[in-house]
Structure 1
Amino acid sequence: MATTIPLRGARRPPVHLIDSECDMLVDLALQIEGRSPAVAAMLLSEIERAETHSIDALPAGTVTIGSEVDFLDESTHRLRTVTLVMPGEADIEAGRVSVLTPVGAGLIGLREGQTIDWPDRDGQPHRLRILGVRRPE
């Protein structure tokens, strides 16, 4: 799998993360560095540029672990609804996407209405537009 890091210098939308999830996400990314260095680098890059918030101060419509996300892949015109989950809870058939996949690393921290150019598992670029976010209660 030839996943690449999004182009350096390419404009990417702001990322917002829950402060209590940041260390966990860093640990997860570091755990997979040997097996999936590109995905680990993509996730670490997003974490590094993220603005962190307490859960109560997180902007509305932000994708977090456990969020159900409606997004449009503008490259393929495919509308998808997924739930962003921890790796052990992933089940692609049930629409449960791990944060340690390229699409999961691209979605975490984005907000409704934002668009990001992001590679798939094969390194092919896709433009993902967040249409809706339902965070867990």
Structure 2
Amino acid sequence: MKILYKTSATATGGRSGVSKLDDGSFQVNTVPPGSKTEGVNPEQLFALGYSACFDNALLRVAQRMKLAPTACSTTIEVGLAQLESGGFGLDVDLYANIVGLSEPEAQSLLTAAHKVCPYSNALHGNADVRLHLNHSS
């Protein structure tokens, strides 16, 4: 594997602490899910990253496929799940909103982007990821 980009972050205090990018560009207070304390939880941060990455994959793959959607957006819902083994895992619903293509074109684009996106590839076989297509031609 050829590394194209690498970054690092440091967390202290776990879900009740602080997480920051090591280059100093971003810092956030972390809180447990459902907490009334100001901050975000790791699943929210994962949803932010995955949605941006997948949306970019849609745009890049559309160019390669010579498709021209008039608009795209990606919504990611991330759930924290209890595994049968006793550990924890992620449960993901991915909603791709694709405008300006036929339904078969939009479905083909969604499937191809899911094969390209690094987050999707990291989760493959490790988490349930359900793909949902919202489209209008």
TM-score in terms of structure 2 length? 0.23
Higher RCO (C-alpha 8 Å, min separation 6): 1
Looking at CA atoms only, which structure, 1 or 2, has the larger radius of gyration?
2
Larger fraction in strand: 2
